[in-house]
Structures are given as C-alpha cells and as structure tokens.
Amino acid sequence: MSKANIKDEVIFVFKKVFENAPEVSEFSSVEDIKEWDSLNHMILINSLEKKFNITFDLFQLIEMRSVKDFIEYINQKLENGSQGG
C-alpha cells in the first residue's frame, strides 16, 4: 500500500469514527476534534488495527495526538513489516 493510500485510509477511518467532526485532514489534532475522547480514542485504535492488521505500541499511543501522528506510525509499521506492538 502506498503512503498516499495509507493517508487516505487513515483519514477515512477518522471520519468514520468521528462522524460529527469538522473536516478531518492530515493536520487535524485532538484539539480540533471535540469528539476525540478516551472512548473514541480506543474505538479509533481498534478500527485502525483491524484496517491495517497491526498492533499499536501502548507507549506510542500516549504521544499520538494528531491524524499525522497515526499516518506516520502506520507507515513505519508497514514499511518495517512489523505487525506486533
């Protein structure tokens, strides 16, 4: 999957999880999406793990606060062929 496709797919998942959010882009952050609370964060993680067949590292998740953070992390995981945490 290309980096552009990964970005598009991540944004698609964000839009699905945060249905009432304003326009979601690569530059959207937790401050921009009022629905981004702890419960929706877990739903987002679960949805992205299923979509990309990966597992997020708990310590990395704590620092992820934007769409771009997730895109970069997923790109790294898929480039390294690493699926586990």
In this predicted model, what pLDDT tens digit does every residue of 23-49 receive, in sequence order?
Answer: 899 999 999 999 999 999 999 999 999
- The Cα 9–Cα 51 span in angstroms is 8
**Which superfamily is assigned to 3-79 in CATH?**
ACP-like (1.10.1200.10)
Confidence band for 83, pLDDT divided at 50, 70 and 90 = low
pTM for the complete prediction? 0.89
Tell me the mean pLDDT in the region 19-26.
86
* Tokens read off for 55: 């597992």
Q: Which residues contact 39 (CB under 8 A, 6 or more apart)?
A: none
